[in-house]
Amino acid sequence: MQRVQKFLHDAGVFFLATTGGDQPQIRPFGIAEIIEGKLYIQTGHVKDVAHQIAVNPKVAICAYNGSEWLRVTAKLVEDPRVEIKKAVLDANPTLRAMYDEKDDNTAVYYLTEAKASINSFTAPRIDIEF
């Protein structure tokens, strides 16, 4: 899990794919924090992505760091605890202009049933599960 988080941090931006009806949807994300042994991402309840996750929590993540790419499939579980929202926002203070741990909009999710692979054209694939 730490290796996946480091890859996501190093990439800076990663892409989260969900489904909306029968149409795949993908958008950029930048938040990936390990808290209490779980890898969390953050968004807002008002966004389409949160509505799509509520219907189908299975997601895919892809990131590229310039020489390798990361693929992750996982199921997202929302964590409503204020202390977890606060920890995510404290680790990413630029989000504080839009989110607060006590508002009804801030949504944090942790990855479960995660299967990841780090790939390149020059090295064997690395598989990670958490």
- Domains of the chain, first to last: 2-129 (2.30.110.10)
- State the average pLDDT over residues 85-94: 98
What is the 3 state secondary structure string of 19-59? EECCEEEEEEECCCEEECCEEEEEEECCCHHHHHHHHCCEE
**Average confidence score pLDDT of the chain:** 97
pLDDT of residue 36: 98
Among residues 117, 35, 50, 119, which one has the least CA distance to residue 81?
Answer: 35
What are 34-86's pLDDT values in tens digits?
Answer: 999 999 999 999 999 999 999 999 999 999 999 999 999 999 999 999 999 99
For 26-38, what is the mean pLDDT? 98
Say how many C-beta atoms besides its own lie within 10 A of residue 28's C-beta.
9
| Per-residue pLDDT tens over the stretch 15-25 | 999 999 899 99
Distance between CA atoms of 2 and 6, rounded to whole angstroms? 6
